[in-house]
């Protein structure tokens, strides 16, 4: 299953200095900070999903034209194969509106050096720092029942085409 993940970022001096994360209040990933995103609906592109989910989850309006693809990461859950997914990661530096809490998520800005990796998916610490440095990544993770990482592979790439 393909899913989107959208990271709203603020830049200073050309570098990403802040990222908007949101505490997941229910469902898959509950209790962890994450970007906005989710499952692609029927007849929807990954980009359309990122735009829709960002509006639904944190109240921001973004445009497909402002999405910058930053990664493609596969996740495998041998004990729960229905959770297997390919995540398409996007950065967005332009939006309309103010972040707002919803039934699903509670957004908060973090300085990039203060991202709470210990309160996020364990895999995020392997790839998110590179993405916040402006790099593009591909990779895969195999994750056990207690979210322990059995295998991981992250690679910086020049293109995601």
pLDDT in tens, 8-63: 999 999 999 999 999 999 888 899 999 999 999 999 999 999 999 999 999 999 99
The residue segments making up the domain with residue 131 are 2-157
- Dihedral sign for Cα 106, 111, 114, 118, please: positive
CATH of the domain at 37: 3.90.79.10
Number of domain units in the chain: 1
**CA angle, corner 91, sides to 77 and 107, nearest 5?**
80
Average pLDDT, rounded, for the chain:
95
CA dihedral 112→109→105→61, nearest 10 degrees, is -110
19, two tokens: 């990222």
Question: What is the predicted pLDDT for the residue at 27?
Answer: 84
């Amino acid at each position: 299953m393909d899913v989107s993940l959208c990271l709203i970022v603020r830049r200073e001096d050309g570098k990403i200095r802040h990222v908007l994360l949101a505490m997941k209040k229910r469902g898959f990933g509950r209790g962890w900070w994450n970007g906005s995103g989710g499952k692609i609906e029927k007849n929807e592109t990954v980009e359309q999903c990122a735009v829709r989910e960002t509006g639904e989850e944190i109240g921001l309006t973004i445009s497909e034209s402002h999405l910058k693809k930053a990664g493609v990461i596969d996740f495998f859950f041998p004990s729960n194969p229905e959770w297997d997914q390919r995540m398409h990661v996007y950065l967005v530096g332009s939006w309309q509106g103010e972040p707002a809490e919803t039934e699903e998520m509670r957004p908060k800005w973090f300085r990039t050096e203060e991202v709470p990796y210990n309160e996020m998916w364990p895999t995020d610490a392997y790839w998110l720092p590179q993405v916040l440095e402006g790099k593009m990544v591909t990779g895969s993770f195999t994750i056990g029942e207690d979210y322990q990482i059995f295998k991981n592979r992250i690679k910086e790439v020049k293109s995601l085409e």
